[in-house]
């Protein structure tokens, strides 16, 4: 978790160490965003499935 925060912090303040490619940092941040989005979607789908099963069991 620290790496994405450091990368986004550098982009936010425009403070990149010498020799760092800002485009590469931005691409890395986009990769973190995509990974986070997929994980949240997976969690939401799992939660929906489990809660639906629980409601069905309570109704039976």
Contact 44, 26 (CB under 8 A): no
- Collect all residues with Cβ–Cβ distance below 8 Å to 26 and sequence separation of at least 6: 11
DSSP assignment of 19-37, as one string? T--HHHHHHHHHHHHHHHH
**Segments forming the whole domain that contains residue 38:** 2-59
* Mean pLDDT per 10-residue interval, the chain, length 60 residues: 70 66 82 93 95 85
pTM given for the model = 0.63
For the chain, how many structural domains are there in total? 1
């Amino acid at each position: 978790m620290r790496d994405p925060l450091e990368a986004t912090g550098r982009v936010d303040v425009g403070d990149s160490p010498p020799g760092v490619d800002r485009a590469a940092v931005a691409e890395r941040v986009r990769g973190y965003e995509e990974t986070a989005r997929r994980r949240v979607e997976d969690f939401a789908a799992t939660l929906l499935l489990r809660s639906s099963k629980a409601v069905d069991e309570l109704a039976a």
